[in-house]
Amino acid sequence: MSTHRGRGMAELIHEGRRSFSFEFFPPRDEAGEAQLWQAIQDLEPYEPTFVSVTYGAGGSSRDTTIRVTSRIARETSMTPMAHLTCVGHTREELEHILDSYIEAGVHHVMALRGDPSEGPRAAWTPTEGGLNYATELVEMAHSRGDFRIGVAAFPEGHPSAESLDQDAEVLVAKARAGAEFAVTQMFFRSEDYFGLVERVRAHGVDMPILPGIMPILNLAAIRRQGELIGTDVPDDIVARIAAKDGDPVAMRAEGIAIAGELCEELLAGGAPGLHFYTLNRSKATREIFEHLKITV
């Protein structure tokens, strides 16, 4: 099911295939590297449509991202997608990084504006000589090489968006600039995802929008992350998790069950697939697949 250079997510999804994909982050040390590759080996049998590798704030993990994605391209059957952000880079540096990806055999890129080092709610200050919007990076990648391009989407709106409609217009502009699909930030209500899809379709844009899934294994951590990116953890979900307080095994199982229920609603409602934020571990994702009765 893996895609190669000539075919992308849009074709696969329009053929009626469901896309299952996984996201990893660049490891910080040897132990992290071993954990990452164990997760990759555990998840490869599920034949993901692609696996993405994130990019540290301000380009801090650029070399590791390039190294990991190129190793995935060389040593596995999976299609690697490298993240790239505008933060901290001049136009020339971004062109060089795109050329490095091509040389490494990486032809799928997730083009993002990226967050300021102070976080996604901080005021955006473009790098001198750099780009200001993800749309500009999409245009650059589209014109620079044979890239298949993904972008970010925000079911509850980006923290800096004036409104949900304006946020959808930004995603539409990315599609028209050359992006062929989008992956959403994590969210916990299927209606938020389907609302975003409807707003984009109202503009006549049919780009596939993959829902991003992060199971709640630690309520405090997920709330902190949610506050940063503008994602709300609904009261009913908090209550379900909190009811297991004091029993970490039961709390984790409830978090997996909630994620599995969300995935079922999304797929039943017509979502073209699922994108899992793995945090470089495979167990939670595999447990959600078991919930969905998806086997290798």
Phi and psi torsions of 202, nearest 5°: -65, -20
**CB proximity list for 189: less than 8 A, separation 6 or greater:** 234
- Runs of H (alpha helix) within the chain: 9-14, 30-43, 62-75, 91-103, 134-144, 164-177, 190-201, 219-229, 235-242, 248-268, 283-291
| Catalytic pick among 23, 180, 254, 287 | 23
Output the CA–CA distances (angstroms, integers) from residue 7 to 1, 4, 12, 47, 75, in the order listed: 11, 6, 8, 15, 20
Q: If you ran DSSP here, which 8-state letter would residue 188 be given?
A: S
Q: How far apart are CA 95 and CA 60, in angstroms?
A: 17
Determine contact, residues 97/89, Cβ cutoff 8 Å.
Answer: yes
Burial level of 59, CB count in 10 A (0-12/13-18/19+)?
buried
**Half-sphere exposure (Cβ direction) of 261: Cα atoms closer than 13 Å:** 11
**CB proximity list for 146: less than 8 A, separation 6 or greater:** 5, 102, 107
Q: Is 95 a catalytic residue?
A: no
Determine contact, residues 181/10, Cβ cutoff 8 Å.
Answer: yes
Signed CA dihedral, 211, 212, 213, 217: sign only: negative
Which amino acids are annotated catalytic? 23
